Structure 1
Amino acid sequence: MSKSIIFVLGFVLSGIFISAQTLDKQAPQGFDVEKKEIPHGKIDTINYESKTVGTQRKALVYTPPVFKKGNKYPVLYLLHGIGGDEKEWFKNGTPQIILDNLYAQGKLTPMIVVLPNGRAMKDDRATGNIMAKDKVKAFATFEKDLLNDLIPFIEKKYPVKKDRENRAIAGLSMGGGQTLNFGLGNIDKFAWVGGFSSAPNTKEPQKLLPNPAKAKELKLLWISCGDQDGLMPFSKRTSDYLTENKIPHIFYIEPGGHDFKVWKNDLFLFSQLLFKPIDQEEISNLLKSE
């Protein structure tokens, strides 16, 4: 083996080691506080034509502080919960602040983040009975809207990389269930998948992954939940199934319940792992350590 190859391998492996060892298990104080002295990304509202729903739909798009139209970027699709819409993360999870702060520390691979409305129906507002059958069904319908309408729109309007290795999906609660359903059901479309406190809409493991070995193609499979969250069984049964089938993944049990304190921490950790070489086992062991 040539010295140059050895050097490159050493560099890559050291990067994996450093990323695992420097990842905080819990976001530090002030991680979600806006700092005026650092560069800031931009949040835009976009309207896209949804053939799936038969109407124009809205989404928010975050472009990073380092954004330049001449460059191409990977994309994270970040999904909300059953009581929210495309603004839920923005209002309650402040992803733009969390990510700006991480960029200022040099901890993120530059990426575009899309915050869609995961309730794919003509009246997609979170009003009235949010548990109504048609509204719950609309969260499943969003899979077609995402794949056939939103992703093509983003890839036409923004300078993004269009291969699966540069496409991630993550979400909280109902959006966490969507993430596991859509991400594991479309491994040819997504290489990075993160379910935060996934809700009962998550398919049973055998239906989620009838061919478990397929999940080995993922760059990252992240499952997390608060230790006081009543929805823990849905995350645990998925992780147990993956473990039984020897599928690499991270199962992070963190302090907290079913709320944005947990989900903001998830975004803080998950975003740092995206679109870079990582060792899931190394990171999993780190997160489990005392």
Structure 2
Amino acid sequence: MTNRDRTGIPAAYISAPASGKQGTVKEVVYPVNNYINSSRQLVTDRNIDAGEAGRDTVSGDAIMKSCNVYLPAGYDDNDPDTHYNVLYLLHGVGGDQYEWLRGGIEGGNSILCNMLDNLIASGDIDPIIVVMSNGRSSHDWTDCSFNTQGTNMLGFYYFDYELRYDLIPFIESTFKTYAKIQETSPIAVEFNRTHRAIAGLSMGGMQALNLILGGYRCDSASIAGRESSWSNGLVTTVPARGMTDLFANVGAFSNAPTSSDGTILGTSITLSGHKLRLLYMTCGDADDISINCYEQSIEGLKDIAGDYLDKFYQVTIKDGVHDFDVWYSGAYHFIRLIYGNGGGRDTNCAASGRRTACY
């Protein structure tokens, strides 16, 4: 990590705390019934219309995927009284379920885990569970190559079905979470969504916007028979319906170029009927990959979302580029804002080199 002054993360929070205050990371395996197969069809165990999905839907066998789960110090499966908020962190186009853990190491430990451990140990936030999944919902989900014609790439744009029907139910039936997706009364839905949060970096930031708020899915330009407006081999297809019924807090850090624009995202938030408590977006002003799409995804969003969006943080980091300086900063401040205790809600917006607007 460099440039900590401008990212606003205290240097002490980058270092590992005492061993008794360190959480653990478990890799767990879970079945996925909703994914893209080798024929570019959506395999599903749900009644999903082909028109909604933008492709044929078929039945098929489940695949097994793995994700990493951070559990805070003191987590005890046998404690019947303690439950936890959950944060889902999404990786970038070349990453996987390890990217957030391997993006930076300090003292032999993951910087992400050090930050979480210190935030919890200091009382800035209550203990939380953090889920780091592989965002490719495809039969070839372990393929990290950048291939716009590949089903592994297409899988990024169908992760919402896996998240809703496979991953969240698995997490909430396996770990001690406040949220319980099987509880569907209006009161339970509102309670549950405030105890879940989701954020992503780069491609994962696009997923947080397009799939959670509600933007467009994409596919290969050559397969769709259209020219890519981004010159990256991808074109839009059909809109995703969004998942604000499950998440009240969303973060997007250096969102990828295929992110939908603010007009589309704001409209989806309004039509969802669910108020978003907090949206946190950040990008480095020297990030030649994401700064333009970051600005396009912001433009008009708040005006159109209106009362359906409570707090909207827009944070531009001076001289920031497409790297973990920006992404760890985003995670640190996002977590403190959504789950902070008292002073934990002060995100040090005056830190050198950070231009913040909150609406």
- Tell me the TM-score normalised to structure 2 length: 0.67
Match of 1:205 in 2: 262
Pick from 79, 86, 102: which aligns with 1:75? 86
| 1:87 and 2:94 are equivalent in the alignment | no
Q: Distance in 1 between matches of 2:27 and 2:73?
A: 17
Match of 1:181 in 2: 210
Contact 2:337 2:347 in 1 (8 A): no
State the 1:125 CA deviation. Answer: 2.0
User: Which has a greater percent of strand?
Assistant: 2
Contact 1:179 1:194 in 2 (8 A): yes
State the 1:137 CA deviation. Answer: 1.0
| 1:161 and 2:178 are equivalent in the alignment | yes
Match of 1:28 in 2: 10
Residues 78-87 or 183-192, more deviating: 183-192
| 1:40 and 2:22 are equivalent in the alignment | yes
One-letter code aligned to 1:87: Y
| 1:65 and 2:73 are equivalent in the alignment | yes
Residues 130-139 or 109-118, more deviating: 130-139
In structure 2, stretches of 5+ residues that fail to align are 1-5, 36-61, 105-109, 180-191, 214-241
Seen in structure 2, the aligned counterparts of structure 1 residues 253 and 165 have a Cα distance that, compared at 3 Å, is: same
Seen in structure 2, the aligned counterparts of structure 1 residues 33 and 166 have a Cα distance that, compared at 3 Å, is: same
Q: Distance in 2 between matches of 1:263 and 1:90?
A: 12
Residues 176-185 or 54-63, more deviating: 176-185
One-letter code aligned to 1:273: L
Seen in structure 2, the aligned counterparts of structure 1 residues 211 and 49 have a Cα distance that, compared at 3 Å, is: closer
| Alignment map for 1:115-126 (pairs within 5 Å) | 115-126=132-143
User: Which has a greater percent of helix?
Assistant: 1
| 1:241 and 2:300 are equivalent in the alignment | yes
Match of 1:109 in 2: 126
Residues 95-133 of structure 1, C-alpha deviation per residue, up to 9 Å, x if partnerless?
A: 211111211211112211000000111221244444444
Match of 2:317 in 1: 254
Q: Distance in 2 between matches of 1:128 and 1:234?
A: 22
Residues 38-75 of structure 1, C-alpha deviation per residue, up to 9 Å, x if partnerless?
A: 51111000100000133000000001114233311111
Contact 1:187 1:218 in 2 (8 A): yes
Match of 1:56 in 2: 64
SS at match of 2:286: coil
Seen in structure 2, the aligned counterparts of structure 1 residues 60 and 201 have a Cα distance that, compared at 3 Å, is: same
| 1:221 and 2:279 are equivalent in the alignment | yes
Q: Distance in 2 between matches of 1:110 and 1:145?
A: 26
One-letter code aligned to 2:337: L
Match of 1:192 in 2: 249
One-letter code aligned to 2:65: R
Identity within the alignment, %: 33
| 1:267 and 2:331 are equivalent in the alignment | yes
Contact 2:194 2:247 in 1 (8 A): yes
Contact 1:84 1:126 in 2 (8 A): no
Match of 1:7 in 2: none
| Alignment map for 1:128-147 (pairs within 5 Å) | 128-147=145-164
- Tell me the TM-score normalised to structure 1 length: 0.82
* Paired residue total: 265
In structure 1, stretches of 5+ residues that fail to align are 1-23
Contact 1:109 1:272 in 2 (8 A): no
SS at match of 1:210: helix
Q: Distance in 2 between matches of 1:164 and 1:193?
A: 11
Q: C-alpha root-mean-square deviation of aligned residues, in Å?
A: 2.6
Residues 83-92 or 32-41, more deviating: 32-41
SS at match of 1:77: strand
State the 1:238 CA deviation. Answer: 2.2
Match of 1:19 in 2: none
Seen in structure 2, the aligned counterparts of structure 1 residues 197 and 207 have a Cα distance that, compared at 3 Å, is: same
State the 1:172 CA deviation. Answer: 0.2
One-letter code aligned to 1:112: I
